[in-house]
Amino acid sequence: MSFFRRLAVAVTLSGLAGCGQPPAAPAPWLWTVADLQARAASGQTAVAADATLPGGIPLAQILSDGTLFARPSLADRYSGSYVTTEVWVGYPEVWVQPMYVPVSGWMDGAPVVIADPATGVWKPVFSVGPSSGFYSPFWRAIYFDAPAGTTADTFTSTKQILDAGLPLHEGAGWTIPIVPADLAWGNPAARLETGWVDGAPVATLNFGKRLFTWDAADGVVDEIPMFVFVTHDATGVRVVPNLRIVLGTGAVGSGGPPPPTSGPQPLYSSYWRLYTVEIPPSAVVFPDAAAVTSPEYGGRLVTTPDCLSNPDNIDPEACSYLDSQQAIEQAVPREAIRATDVTVTGPVVTYKNGSPIMPVL
């Protein structure tokens, strides 16, 4: 065997030697609204199907008729709904990113934001675009004192603003996903706006401020649990039945404190980690027949099925439902509540049996 052939064999064998290695960790993945639309257009029916959430998230529960689907849910015992704008898989955490906003001055401590005269709405400069793995729709407003003559289109990139050396003032956290410009949207829970990323205009959905908190030291956005009920099929495989998701109001194990409010309106989180909840053996699904006359209870799990024998006595005073974080954590053992590797942006758009959520602007 020639020297060169021996070398080639040695190199080949060194490559084969790696075949016995354990499989590599899967890549973390982020899907934005544009990614989700593209996935649906390609014929896919679910996202995060390889995650630890059985079956992933059906795309039909995210997108519908060219817009975002308001998925029915439960929170604090009431029916509500939320939309999904981002899905992360394999991200242990996501980070708040800065969003720069020009102001012409300050009035009683509040910034006087420079708006686009055509729309009367601001045009923030977002620091990270949606094609980055580190994009997040959770923005910390950084107001900067703009020089005279500044318009909403004067500053369009982070470099421009920082190089100008203007005074910066930190503000609240805003939930503003960057979305495709042609996204249909008519829900009052968010306002269609525009902004800038690296000098290019982008379309956004502004769900308002105060919908998340973050660690001031490292910028990590705090997670709130979203509970997904799971059971086992005849073959023992875990499956997700078509039940309403329950939105938490505090960290897992906290018992579900009341959410913060803005006036009478609750401010539910917009960032969630999905947790699977094993359905207790004693629980049953609220009967479809009864849901005809009491639709607000449809899709709920009842842990005291005996109460259903009296249709006039099914309210929460008589029946126990798994319809809040508090109820779940009281009725389900902690070991039956498991974190998945899926997190989502899910701003709540209705609450208390259909009342619309309005953005805090």
Partner 1 sequence: MRRGGLGLAMVLLVASRASAQTDAPADAAEPINDSQGYTPPAEGAGAPSPLVINGYVDVGFAKAQGNGTSFAPGDQRVPADYGVDPFAPAVNSRGDVASTDAGGRFVNGFLPRSAGIGGNASFLLNTLDVDLKYTPAATPLMVFSRVQLLPRFTGAGDDTRVYVEQAFGRWVPFESQELALSVGKFDSVFGIEYLDNESNIRTGVTPSLVARYTTGQSLGAKLFYRIQLPAIWSAVSLNLAATNSGTFVEALQPPDASLTGAPVGSGRLGYELNAAAVQVKLGASGMFGPRNDQGQQAVHQRAFGLDARVAFHGIYLSAEYVRVDEGEGGPKTTSLGTFPLASGFWVRGGYGQLAYALPWSIGLLHKLTVYGRYDRRHAWFQGFTPITVDRFTGGVRLDLGDSVLLKAEYVANRELAGAPAVANNVFTSSLVYSF
Q: Mask of contacts with partner 1, 41-80, x by CB under 8 A?
A: ----------------------------------------
CA distance 84 to 67: 11
- Kindly state whether residue 149 participates in binding partner 1, applying the rule CB under 8 A: no
Candidate segments 22-30, 56-64, 282-290, 313-321, binder of partner 1 by CB under 8 A: 22-30
What minimum distance in Å lies between the beta carbon of 232 and partner 1? 30
The b-or-e profile of 197-218 (16+ CB within 10 A means b, else e) is: beeeebbbbbbbbbbbebeeee
User: Please, which residues have CB within 8 angstroms of residue 137's CB and are 6 or more apart in sequence?
Assistant: 85, 86, 175, 176, 177, 178, 270, 345
Which of 47, 74, 142, 357 is the binder for partner 1 (CB under 8 A)?
Answer: 142
CA distance 146 to 103: 6
CA distance 240 to 277: 10
CB 87 within 8 A of CB 47: yes
Q: Mask of contacts with partner 1, 206-225, x by CB under 8 A?
A: -----------xxxx-----
What minimum distance in Å lies between the beta carbon of 129 and partner 1? 5
What minimum distance in Å lies between the beta carbon of 238 and partner 1? 25
Report how far apart the first and last C-alpha atoms of the chain are (Å, whole number).
77
- Kindly state whether residue 237 participates in binding partner 1, applying the rule CB under 8 A: no
- Kindly state whether residue 134 participates in binding partner 1, applying the rule CB under 8 A: yes
Which of 1, 2, 5, 15 is the binder for partner 1 (CB under 8 A)?
Answer: 15
CA distance 326 to 256: 5
Of 311-340, binders to partner 1 (CB under 8 A) are none
CB 334 within 8 A of CB 323: no
Binding stretches for partner 1 (CB under 8 A): 3, 7, 10-11, 14-15, 17-21, 24-28, 90-93, 95, 97-98, 127-135, 140, 142, 157-159, 162-163, 168, 198, 217-220
